[in-house]
Amino acid sequence: MQTDRRSTTELTPTEAEWQAIRSRDTFVDGQFFYGVLSTRIVCRPSCAARPARPENVVCHHTVEQARVAGFRPCLRCRPDRPETW
């Protein structure tokens, strides 16, 4: 299981998830969200913000999980809002 500073809902991105983040793939929006440990902000995969370093990125399946883990929704991609944005 995960150790150190990560909670149980924080998952290391899979290769596919990381690729989706890197390419800002809108197809995976809503399937998972990624949080940046250095800023404590959670984003949609398609967020226009520059991706953080892989070691600082954790994935959550829901925004709610990210919130519980202490992340704030990104003001740019608004992961806390429905798909219409």
Which residues of the chain form contacts with Zn ion (CB under 5 A)?
43, 47, 49, 74, 76-77
The structure tokens listed for 78 are 């608004």
Name the minimum Å distance from CB 19 to Zn ion: 17
Nearer to Zn ion, 37 or 47 (CB): 47
Name the minimum Å distance from CB 46 to Zn ion: 9
Nearer to Zn ion, 19 or 81 (CB): 81
Q: Where are the alpha helices (DSSP H) in 1-48?
A: 15-22
**Is 47 considered catalytic here?**
no
Distances (CA, A) of 25 to 1, 15, 78: 28, 13, 16
Query: Could you please report the per-residue DSSP string of 69-81?
Result: TTPEEPTTT-TTS
Q: Which residues are catalytic?
A: 43
